Amino acid sequence: MNKESLAKVASDIVASSRGILAADESTPTMGKRLALIGQENTEENRRDFRQALFETDGMEMFISGVILFEETLEQKTSEGTRLSKILESKGVYPGIKVDKGAHPMDGSPSEKLTKGLEGLYERCLDYYKLGARFAKWRAVITIGDDMPTDECIRANASALAKYARACQDAELVPIVEPEVLMDGDHTIERCYEVSEKTFKTVFEELDNEGVYLPGILLKPNMVVSGKDCPVQGDMNTVAEMTVKCLKASVPAEVPGIVFLSGGQSETEATEHLNAMNMMGDHPWALSFSYGRALQQSALHAWNGNNANLETTYAVFYHRAEMNSKACHGEYSPSLEI
């Protein structure tokens, strides 16, 4: 592995209050998004919406990397330009989702284990040749009755570590994504407990695999109440407990933490990130790797019609700018349009 190159890409991605657009929805998931605006799940619709985001003038001031689905990495505009080349021309790193999804775990089918390690190194070499410079693998941890089990946390942590090592050996920066889901009625304290245990286990496994920490990014959940919990943690509680959890579990060598939005609304995701960065300096940059929380309003503005591109550009630009301000702790709800 080229440690210098990996560290540069990882640091670049979280430099200057920029973050990541997660545009790596699988084809079925993208179909659910398009259904919200009454559009068919066609390759053309998937391409046109993503192209609108990538072509937004000035998005590169706030977005440093975009995670792509495999289809999108080689997809071309109607004029024949690869979508990834649009990103490269703006100085934005193309990334790639490499996992094969979370599947019921043997021995505990209510829990999930992410698959995709077979042939991963070879795939990563191919993705690098196609222009990808970072990758993503998502593990999901469910809180429920007698869950998560130690076996589930350890198995997912081990897979994340093996993925990260394969990426680094192929010169891709791995985004390590252990997501403790907000599904359920658990308290914010329970989320904290599970998150800390999960993150600590992940870093144990990364160490076991010899993963170079300055050349990774962590993409964790925030510490929040389960969405069905009658008592929801307020903004400051979420920020304080999330930072406390990360300080207890994430080594300082990691250059950046890029949060997932995990079902939060666009403004909630921005407010929580802002509150954390208002708390002062942290050992790592705190930034974003949002999907829905960057795209939702833009999707509705586009509405399946390229006649709406100017509005789509403006809405996406605004959302990206708000999250960039949150990386400085300079966001305010009064800035919303």
- The catalytic position among 25, 111, 177, 205 is 177
- Helix 235-249 vs helix 188-208: crossing angle, to nearest 10: 30
Residues 216 and 289: their CA atoms lie apart, in Å, by 14
- Report d(CA 186, CA 37) in Å as an integer: 32
Distance, CA of 198 to CA of 187 (rounded, Å): 17
Residue whose tokens read 């050996």: 169
User: What is the distance between the alpha carbons of residues 324 and 42, in angstroms, rounded to a whole number?
Assistant: 32
Cα–Cα distance measured from residue 268 to residue 290, given in angstroms and rounded to the nearest whole number: 12
What are 291's two structure tokens?
A: 């999907």
One-letter amino acid of 257:
I
Encoding tokens for residue 199?
Answer: 């993150």
Active site annotation includes 177: yes
196 catalytically annotated: no
Q: What angle do CA 271, 193, 294 make, to 5 degrees?
A: 25
* Contact yes or no for 245/199 (Cβ under 8 A): yes
Catalytic residue among 219, 266, 271, 325: 219
Q: Where are the beta strands (DSSP E) in 236-316?
A: 256-259, 285-290
Instruction: Indicate the helix (H) or strand (E) that contains 24.
Output: none
The catalytic site residues sit at: 177, 219
